[in-house]
Amino acid sequence: MFLILKLACGIWIIQTLAFGLSIWLKRNSIADVFWGFSIAVVAIAANYSFIMYVLKINPYLALFIPSIVISALMAIWGLRLTYHIGIRFIKKKKEDPRYAKMSESWQNYYLRSYLQVFLLQGALMLGMMSALVVTILYPATVNIYLLGAGVFVWAFGFLFEVVADQQLTKFVKTKKPGEIMKKGLWRYSRHPNYFGEVVSWWGIWIITLNTQYWWIAFLTPAIITFLILKVSGVPMAEAHYADNDEFQEYAKYTSKFFPWSPKR
């Protein structure tokens, strides 16, 4: 319980700082930059302090290998995403249309922004820490097969996301107005970057399957999968291109999420 409290406090401090920056910059989209950053920082801090404590009273550090690996994978994913979105945030220099539209009807703007964007995001982050919390509080003998499978699935998803993002970034630099990305991984899925992200978090969950409360760790991939498929990922991206004829034609023969051979 103390660990969860520490995680909650850490997330709250970072998200409150992000809210303060959003007021200064007049851009709620700074929340996107802090999404990956917060997860990375909290994952590292939580496991570092716990391991330092364990080393003083328990020499069996091998029991905590899964939590160390999960911390590392979360940190790598979060820092990479922070860099990717951060560069885009700096280049745009104006509010993201998604956040602008969201806040159009808001009264008590700053309160709604703090609660609905930053604290809600913080609560979701805390839920995504379930896999890490379970492996720290309830360590089990390392299952090398589950550990290897989890890292493999995470690596596949992570690389899939990175390549998709790089392909899109390169395309955006030379694209014509209204032109749609349809090459590379985007030929097989309309959202290959989101597919890769979801897969990587399921890889983290696989590592927890040897622990007593693996079913609690299920929250970690479930939250990100729900957000991407039903809330802020795929639905918002699809809505953005609702009036784009080329995208609608592209959507007729290209899988929405799972990579698949294009329809003829």
What pTM did the predictor assign?
Answer: 0.88
Q: What pLDDT was estimated at residue 49?
A: 65
Report domain extents, the chain.
2-253
User: How far apart, in whole angstroms, are the C-alpha atoms of residue 60 and residue 81?
Assistant: 33
Q: What pLDDT was estimated at residue 109?
A: 84
User: How far apart, in whole angstroms, are the C-alpha atoms of residue 140 and residue 46?
Assistant: 18
Q: Tens-digit pLDDT profile for the chain (264 aa)?
A: 677 888 888 899 999 999 999 999 888 889 999 999 999 999 988 877 666 665 555 556 667 789 989 999 999 999 999 999 998 888 887 777 777 777 777 788 888 889 988 999 999 999 999 999 999 888 887 889 999 999 999 999 999 999 999 999 999 888 888 788 999 999 999 999 999 999 999 999 999 999 989 999 999 999 999 999 998 889 988 988 888 888 999 999 999 999 999 887
Sign (positive/negative) of CA torsion 30, 92, 82, 129?
positive
Q: What pLDDT was estimated at residue 58?
A: 59
